Amino acid sequence: MEREKLQVTRQQEQASTAPTKTRQVMAAAALEKGTACAVGPVPFKDVGGDGEEDQKLISPPEEYTNIISALPSTTWLDQRVLRQYQGSWLHHQMVPGVISVQRRFTARPDDVLLVSPPKCGTTWLKALSFATMARAAYPPSGTDHPLLRLNPHDCVPFVEVLFSAGQEARLEALPSPRLLHTHMHHSLLPPSLARCKIVYVCREPKDMVVSIWHFAKSIMPAGGIAFSFSDLYESACQGKHLHGPIWDHVLGYWSASKASPERVLFLRYEEMLLNPVSTVRNLARFLGMPFTAAEEAAGTPIHIAELCSIDTMRGLETNNTGAAGVLAKFPHGSFFRKGVVGDWVNHMTPEMARRINAIVEDKLRGSGLSFTP
């Protein structure tokens, strides 16, 4: 046991001083030997494969077809079919993945799970968490930092998408500790995942709706979408939108964070924007790896916040070329838009804002959580 520990420590030391290419090779070699090399988190794309492998989608088991066809459905955006599975509206292609995660995924005790509703700061949280957790191996001011060559979505895998695509083996190939992401409601998580450290980010719902709108427009083929902003707004008010209802998504993790603050860190996009460096410190403390005095003196938390800022990310070549995703490819650039608070004023009338505020506040009543001042 002691010898194994020593070996792991040596691997960590070697990994933290080796150049990027060497670290990738070390991780791959250790994985081939079947030893979970303690250099995680490593960028998912460096270990989990790329390009060709992404294309090998395996169809979900036949039995899922019956389960899925019996679920309530609705259309959303450009006639996408959403299915209501255990109270949550999922893209129909994602339902098999969620069922498989529930039935077959066993998280490792040291996995860290990032969770968000769509368009609430997922990309940013992935970048900040990866940079914070992997800072020993990849110093944030290093010129070969993975986030300088890879989009954050290529660094942190999306669990239910991989299961939907039949590519869950790629998750097993990742060395511990793994950094994983899901959009699943708390009530959908299998017990082993719900026991992990979870970092949750949410956002003021009106800004979330506006962000979805722009994202949808940016990824649609020329000709646009057969859906208006007010249709999207209406679906959000009714809770019938991707991973909706938003209030159930937020409340599940809010309650979990109140019950076990040491296990669930509840972040709000608006607060992160107000003070990104405090967010980084908070994240590091929560993950059990607070910054040392030497790291503070060296400005490590500041370097992480700068590396992950929207301006830095938007300016990188990797985020202006290529696409991320397994079931569907999304241009890297589509994940970075304005990154501000309150853009809803440019899209909603005061009456629309009052109505959605009232709906959300009603659903959150008594929880201690609120999105309106």
Question: Nearer to ligand A3P by C-beta: 23 or 268?
Answer: 268
Binding mask 196-235 for ligand A3P (x = CB under 6 A): -----------x---x--x---------------------
In order, the DSSP letters of 307-333 are HTSHHHHHHSGGGGS-EE-SSS-EEGG
In angstroms, what CA-CA distances link 76 with 80, 90, 236, 271, 345? 5, 11, 10, 30, 23
Question: Nearer to ligand A3P by C-beta: 245 or 276?
Answer: 276
308 binds ligand A3P (CB under 6 A): yes
337 binds ligand A3P (CB under 6 A): yes
* Total residues in contact with ligand A3P, by rule CB under 6 A: 21
Q: Quickly tell me which residue has 């303690």 as its tokens.
A: 38
313 binds ligand A3P (CB under 6 A): yes
Gap between the Cα atoms of 81 and 88, Å rounded: 13
Tokens of 33: 């030997």
Q: What share of the chain is helix, strand, coil (3-state, %, to 5)?
A: 55, 10, 35
91 binds ligand A3P (CB under 6 A): no
**158 and 326 Cβ atoms separated by less than 8 Å:** yes
Instruction: Identify which range of 30-38, 227-235, 286-294, 302-310 contacts ligand A3P by CB under 6 A.
Output: 302-310
339 binds ligand A3P (CB under 6 A): yes
116 binds ligand A3P (CB under 6 A): yes
Question: Nearer to ligand A3P by C-beta: 120 or 196?
Answer: 120
Gap between the Cα atoms of 164 and 84, Å rounded: 16
Instruction: Identify which range of 21-29, 113-121, 173-181, 224-232 contacts ligand A3P by CB under 6 A.
Output: 113-121
Question: Nearer to ligand A3P by C-beta: 116 or 235?
Answer: 116
Nearest to 45 by CA among 160, 167, 221, 163: 167
Question: Nearer to ligand A3P by C-beta: 45 or 347?
Answer: 347
Binder of ligand A3P out of 10, 56, 104, 338 (CB under 6 A): 338
Q: Smallest distance from the beta carbon of 119 to ligand A3P, in angstroms?
A: 4
Question: CB-hemisphere CA count at 13 Å for 185?
Answer: 22
Indicate which residues carry an active-site annotation: 183
Binder of ligand A3P out of 309, 318, 323, 331 (CB under 6 A): 309
317 exposed, middle or buried (CB, 10 Å; 0-12, 13-18, 19+)?
exposed
Q: Which helix (H) or strand (E) holds 82?
A: strand 80-85
Q: What residues line the site for ligand A3P (CB under 6 A)?
A: 116, 118-124, 207, 211, 214, 308-310, 313, 335-339, 343
